[in-house]
Chain A
Amino acid sequence: MSAEATGQKFNIDTVEHAAGTPETDLPWAELGLKDNEFARIQEILGRRPTAAELAMYSVMWSEHCSYKSSKVHLSQFGEKVTEKMKEHLLVGIGENAGVVDIGDGWAVTFKVESHNHPSMVEPYQGAATGVGGIVRDIISMGARPVAVMDPLRFGAIDHPDTARVVHGVVAGIGGYGNSLGLPNIGGEVVFDSVYQGNPLVNALAVGVLRHEDIRLANASGTGNKVVLFGARTGGDGIGGASVLASESFDDTKPSKRPAVQVGDPFAEKVLIECCLELFKASVVEGIQDLGAAGISCATSELASNGDGGMHVELTNVLLRDPSLTPGEILMSESQERMMAVVTPENQAAFEAIMDKWNVEYSWLGEVTGTGRLVIDWAGETIVDVDPRTVAHDGPVYERPFARPEWLDALQQQKFDGERPASDSELRAAVLELMASPNMCSKDWITNQYDRYVQGNTAMAMPDDAGVVRVDEETGLGVAISTDCNARYSYLNPYEGARAALAEAYRNVATSGAKPLAVTDCLNFGSPEDPAIMWQFAETVRGLADACQELGVPVTGGNVSLYNQTGGVGIHPTPVVGVLGVFDDVTRRTPSGWREDGQAIYLLGTTRDELDGSEWANLRGHLGGQPPVVDLEAEMTLAAILINSSRDGMIDSAHDLSEGGLAAALSESSLRFGVGARIGLDELCERDGVDAFTALFSESHGRAIVGVPRSEEVRFKDMCTARRFPFIRVGVVDTANGALDVQGRFSLPLDELRAAHEGTLPKYFG
């Protein structure tokens, strides 16, 4: 961008000026626009855009904001939703977050989003503002945020750069989330070298509201006032959504503008309380948080979702840095800001609440009946657009996609590595598995998060799902789990997506909750690579099909593309979050057993499915086909787990996924430090597998449960009636202090725990 364009001239690039200077050279390419996109903007406006309009279009038409590469596929989430699936849906895809009815007049809103690229550049602030952004989405629906979760992917645990990212990300999530008073109730942590140059930091937030309190992002009612409140607008995060690393942008300025936003959790905490007070007093008509694309996004979305237009005076925006240009003000992604629409009658009440919480605000303009979004700079019009063309009618690409040629060869490379057979080999293998980076205890991370605040956390990590109470009178509450196995998705993206949903669904049911709705964060490489676009298309198709089969709708989420470094993309990583409901959270089922003599049952069938498994990963193998997903079986298993929990037939339940039975038995023993005696012979005989396969296979549709003796008959009858495979594999032993796989090996829990809990402190402690 030239000095002439960014200096004084930029400031006075009015609509009138633009109309008279069609030949002006504009930095559209530096702002991330393609030539066809710039041509389209000129076509829409019938002239060249002003500098400010260019800024708006460039951020709103970025991949991050416009979903231009993913839109044609994402529409399946809407098309494959049946009427039955909409039963509990109060607000679906398209708003800041979906809203689900959980009964008794209560609703829950939840969503997962990515903050991957900022977290690579600046791990602490990237992760912190990731939490901040998703929490503001929740507030804008009218809800009180009640919990957060963080699915994370890092590079190889022993790579020299990983510790930098891990320390920054964990401290950022903790530093922000803890200061907001939001319990962190779960998430995932995976280490894999494919994420070395592209760590994934996804953030999920949950909020709670009464049905009548739902707020939407629209600006209606001509004459209503538009107000910006919260933190002041600064130079941080400019172009974050479109040109994160663009060196060329604005390099004539005295200082470089950081493209990563800087968070202030205290400001956000005050903003939460202040917004909830606004909602309670019913003084806002529409509300929108400012995230990616800042004021550009908020004004164009509010205006295009409303029934008219909007007229805003940009010099009214309170600034941290008075040297910002109009374009920068429109693009700034400064955190902790909200925009609202308020009737003139409510202005005084609005201001009183702002004053009480010491929150700064400025009245920017008003809703008009013109259908145009008009933005002035000191009285001169610098933006005059149809807001729909900015917010919704961005470019849509049908990117070419093609099944990668290498996939056939990959799928034929079945796991043929080491299969421990002797008792001592099996023992060593279990210890190795439980100490491995992906299966080891994540306490070192989760102990840096507050899981108690708000006093409603009924369950958190390391149990299968996070559970929070919503209604203190009745115990009504929700369970949430997020899951994804990117190795499965790499081997078969369609099945991998189904597996991610199946596992999150199973986890929620394992906790005892009835699954209701889905949110997803689809993390992929470059959509301009046909192979990656094919992975994306297959993932969406798989997830949409599986949602339909399980009867749970996607209510919202996020797509993160271009997660690649040096031309190599990450494994397709579709993180899926499932929300379930409890009539009473005190009925939730923990993942560990405690009562001596209780029977341990394994539900489901074990097949020889080691491709893509954690064991194969430990042996450096990735090939073949991932474990088969049978959603009919998942639904039956879920029904058994939910009914058993409700009727008091089980005291513990843990799903089998990564690491198979070996991991599940170890984790259930370590949960409360209570051992068990396990026998594998009957299982091996029934399913035709050896002990190694029984322990390490990752077949889906399985769980282990602890059944009180008094309930065994009833429990078995229920499984029989539902024709679901079950087998007694052992008994809880409070005295032996070991995981004793009888006739094969015994692992003292102290030794197992030391291996399990030692890994993260060794690398990061």
Chain B
Amino acid sequence: MSTETPLIGSYSADAAGPDLTDARVGIVTFPGSLDDRDASRAIRLAGGTAVPLWHADSKLYDVDAVIIPGGFSYGDYLRAGAISRFSPLMDKIIDAANSDAKLPVLGICNGFQVLTEAHLLPGSMIKNDHLHFVCRDQRLRVETNATDWTASFEPGAEIVVPLKNQDGQYVADEKTLDELEGEGRVVFRYVDHNPNGSRRDIAGISNAAGNVVGLMPHPEHAVEAGFGPDASAAGPVELRGGLDGLNIFTSALKKIVGSKA
């Protein structure tokens, strides 16, 4: 059964490039997911087609990529993402991500937590070192373009996207951290300010193949003029005009369309 969460308004259909609409990106909704509609909007604004996926479903409906959005799935009362990983849909996502087809998967915030709980990514997320929820416009460095979700960036490029989390402190043992660094799998790093005490300023990582990426900040909140952060890495923008998150979604859409061609 697929779900349709009620929407306020309908999304604008204009696309960055009509060719990208062939790329179908599934957006997972767990009970307690919050940024699912925002992630759908981001895919649409990047030119792709968003497909809602329901956690209890065990079909992926032939999507070309999956985004696990932010939120507090199942309330996160036990450990962020600890229950979600056991959903029927997650089994399918894990299989598809590890298959030869290497389904592109992006976990944002709670989605990143779910990916670590599902062992698609190493390490774990614990409570922020200052113990508070934090919402701020965060500068990041894109350390590598060798992933499906950063392929359109120059390595070392900086972006500003909103960050908002309670359990955002990325931790892993030193050996794992060294491996991530050595294999070029640290994808995003906090710049100027580490907002949660994450080890080595890590904001996002990938699996070895580069198709699965987890990212703590929220690129889907920096995709639409007038509703994003007040800043971009490149300099001043109009009020809430920061669009630095868009390229993450565009990267995956281009890769999908390219591989279909």
Contacts and interface: CB of A to CB of B under 8 A. Distances in A.
A and B: interacting chains: yes
Secondary structure at chain A's binding surface: helix, strand, loop or mixed?
Answer: mixed
A358 B31 contact: yes
A470 B8 CA distance: 7
Contact of B9 (A276, A453, A470): A470
B6 A277 contact: yes
A675 interface: no
B227 A469 contact: yes
Interface in B185-227: 218, 220-221, 224-227
A153 to B, nearest CB: 21
B37 A672 contact: no
Interface string A427-456: 000000000000000000011111111111
A251 interface: no
B117 interface: no
Interface stretch (B68-76, B93-101, B248-256): B68-76
Nearest to A471: B9
A450 B132 CA distance: 12
Given A146-B8, A458-B226, A174 B133 contact: yes
A273 B31 CA distance: 9
B32 A269 contact: yes
Contacts of A279: 6
Given A181-B71, A356-B1, A455-B37, A276 B134 contact: no
Contact of B34 (A208, A453, A457, A473): A453
Given A181-B35, A266-B32, A269-B31, A452 B135 contact: yes
Contacts of B166: 175, 178
Interface in A27-62: none
B244 interface: no
A415 to B, nearest CB: 38
A453 B12 CA distance: 18
Nearest to B41: A455
Contact of A455 (B38, B225, B230): B38
Considering residues B10, B77, B239, which has the most beta carbons from chain A within 10 angstroms of its beta carbon?
A: B239
Given A356-B1, A455-B220, A472-B9, A450 B32 contact: no
Contacts of A742: none
Given A178-B166, A452-B162, A458 B41 contact: no
B236 interface: yes
Interface in B150-184: 162, 164, 166
Contact of A357 (B12, B31, B224): B31
Contacts of A590: 239
A472 B70 CA distance: 21
Interface in B61-89: 70-72, 74-77
A486 B71 CA distance: 37
Contacts of B226: 458, 585-586
Interface residues of A, number: 49
B132 A448 contact: yes
Contacts of B12: 472-473
B8 A456 contact: yes
A192 interface: no
B127 interface: no
Contact of A276 (B6, B133, B135): B6
Contacts of A706: none
Interface string A447-483: 1111111111111000000000111110000000000
Contacts of B240: 457-459
B5 interface: yes
B52 to A, nearest CB: 12
B133 A178 contact: yes
Given A179-B72, A181-B71, A456-B227, A447 B8 contact: no
Contacts of A266: 31-32, 72, 74-77
A265 interface: yes
A448 B230 contact: no
A466 to B, nearest CB: 13
A581 B1 CA distance: 38
A440 to B, nearest CB: 18
A273 B37 CA distance: 12
B135 A451 contact: yes
B38 A448 contact: no
Nearest to A266: B75
Interface string B1-30: 101011011111000000000000000000
A663 interface: no
Interface string A220-262: 0000000000000000000000000000000000000000000
Contact of B221 (A269, A447, A452): A452
A181 B34 contact: yes
A9 interface: no
B92 interface: no
Contact of A473 (B9, B37, B220): B9
B136 interface: yes
A171 interface: yes
A356 B225 CA distance: 36
B35 A453 contact: yes
A672 B236 CA distance: 9
Contacts of A175: 133, 166
**Best-surrounded residue of B74, B136, B227 (most CB of chain A within 10 A):** B227
Contacts of B164: 178, 450, 452-453
25 contacts: A171-B132, A171-B133, A175-B166, A179-B34, A179-B72, A179-B75, A208-B8, A266-B76, A269-B31, A270-B31, A273-B5, A280-B6, A356-B3, A449-B135, A450-B135, A452-B162, A453-B35, A454-B37, A455-B38, A457-B227, A458-B226, A459-B240, A472-B12, A588-B239, A590-B239
Ordered nearest first, which 6 A-B pairs have the shortest CB separation?
A266-B75, A181-B34, A472-B9, A452-B221, A455-B38, A276-B6
Given A452-B164, A472-B11, 5 more contacts: A179-B34, A276-B5, A448-B132, A449-B133, A457-B240
Interface of B: 1, 3, 5-6, 8-12, 31-32, 34-35, 37-38, 41, 56, 70-72, 74-77, 132-136, 162, 164, 166, 218, 220-221, 224-227, 230, 236, 239-240
